[in-house]
């Protein structure tokens, strides 16, 4: 009964390719997020959706496009992958922002 | 100045020790505060929320000082299983759901 599940767990791809990461939560939360954790382990928010509406879009290249078909899903599509995109991408969800985030197990993306 | 600052450590302590982590945040509009722990190659997990009145969960005590924009976490009677990175997290107020993570404090508890 995984609360926040994201796929794939590992993704190795060549520069210039386009890839997607999927995320689903079964907690009934109204807010979902994408975070990036780089090689220095610094975790940074990329996007936040509340009730399917984009409410936070940090300074992320427009090669990254999130899509939320419904409140339980938030997918991340990345175009023209670059070496610097290599990182662990975490999906998370919360009910509002008072109670903290529940994270998925992460997608380790390696661009070669 | 970073939005959320933590001492990166590492803190190396023996089992049974008491250890304290501190964190400062720069945005006075911050409204919600948390401590997360992250084990190596795993996702962050919520450890506890932090309230102005201070709150305790077993061996863990968290404190918030809004005037000084300072958050602390105290771990008593450290266990080997407490070894992890502890992340101080601040969430900004209404109108946004921006959650800012500190870079984390690494803790090693030794037998």
pLDDT in tens, A9-18: 999 999 999 9
Q: What's the confidence (pLDDT) of residue B94? A: 56
Q: What's the confidence (pLDDT) of residue A97? A: 67
A96 to chain B: nearest residue by CA? B97
Q: What's the confidence (pLDDT) of residue A4? A: 97
Most confident stretch, A47-51, A94-98, B57-61: B57-61
User: Which of A32-41, A94-103, B11-20, B38-47 is predicted with the least confidence, judged by mean pLDDT?
Assistant: A94-103
What residues of chain B have any CB closer than 8 angstroms to a CB in chain A?
A: 31-32, 34, 36, 42-46, 49, 85, 87, 89, 91, 96-101, 103-104
Q: Would you tell me which residues 60-89 of chain A have a C-beta closer than 8 angstroms to some C-beta of chain B?
A: none
Q: Do A105 and B87 touch (CB under 8 A)?
A: no
Task: Report whether pLDDT(B95) > 60.
Answer: no
- pLDDT higher for B67 or B51? B67
A41 to chain B: nearest residue by CA? B103
- pLDDT higher for B52 or B43? B43
Q: Which two tokens stand for residue A52?
A: 């399917």
With a pLDDT cut of 70, the percent of chain A lying above it is 97
Whole-angstrom distance, CA of residue B83 vs CA of residue B37 = 9
Of B32, B91, B97, the CB nearest to A50: B97
Q: What's the confidence (pLDDT) of residue A35? A: 95
Q: Do A56 and B32 touch (CB under 8 A)?
A: no
Interface residue of A41, A55, A102 to substitute, partner B, most B CBs within 10 Å: A41
Size of interface A-B (CB pairs under 8 A): 60
- pLDDT higher for A102 or A56? A102
Q: Cα dist. B70→A75, A98, B37, B63, B73 in Å?
A: 35, 18, 18, 8, 11
B43 to chain A: nearest residue by CA? A105
Mean pLDDT for all residues in chain B? 92
- Residues in A closer than 8 angstroms to B85, CB to CB, are 41
Q: What's the confidence (pLDDT) of residue B7? A: 92
Q: What's the half-sphere exposure (Cβ side, CA atoms, 13 Å) at B44?
A: 32
Q: Cα dist. B63→A61, A82, B48, B55 in Å?
A: 37, 42, 11, 7
Q: Do A101 and B99 touch (CB under 8 A)?
A: yes
- Which pairs from A53-62 meet CB under 8 Å and 24+ separation? A55/B96, A55/B97, A56/B96, A56/B97, A56/B98, A58/B98
The pLDDT tens digits for A24-65 are 999 999 999 999 999 888 899 999 888 888 887 777 899 999
Task: Report whether pLDDT(A86) > 90.
Answer: yes
Per-residue pLDDT band for B93 (boundaries 50, 70, 90) equals low
Q: Please calculate the CA angle B45-B48-B52 and round it to the nearest 5 degrees.
A: 150
């Amino acid at each position: 009964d995984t609360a926040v599940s994201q796929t794939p767990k590992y993704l190795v791809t060549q520069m210039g390719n386009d890839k997607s990461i999927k995320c689903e939560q079964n907690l009934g939360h109204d807010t979902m997020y994408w975070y990036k954790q780089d090689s220095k382990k610094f975790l940074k928010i990329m996007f936040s959706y509340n009730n399917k509406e984009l409410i936070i879009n940090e300074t992320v290249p427009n090669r990254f496009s999130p899509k939320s078909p419904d409140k339980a899903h938030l997918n991340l599509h990345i175009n023209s992958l670059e070496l610097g995109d290599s990182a662990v991408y975490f999906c998370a969800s919360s009910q509002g922002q008072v109670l903290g985030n529940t994270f998925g197990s992460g997608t380790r993306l390696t661009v070669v | 100045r970073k939005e959320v600052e933590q001492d990166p450590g590492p803190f190396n302590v023996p089992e049974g020790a008491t250890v304290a982590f501190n964190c400062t945040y720069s945005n006075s509009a911050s409204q919600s505060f948390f401590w997360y722990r992250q084990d190596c190659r795993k996702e962050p997990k919520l450890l506890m929320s932090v309230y102005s009145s201070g709150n305790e969960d077993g061996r863990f005590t968290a404190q918030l000082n809004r005037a000084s924009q300072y958050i602390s976490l105290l771990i008593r009677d450290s266990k080997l299983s407490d070894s992890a990175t502890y992340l101080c997290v601040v969430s900004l107020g209404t109108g946004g759901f921006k959650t800012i993570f500190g870079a984390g404090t690494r803790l090693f508890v030794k037998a």
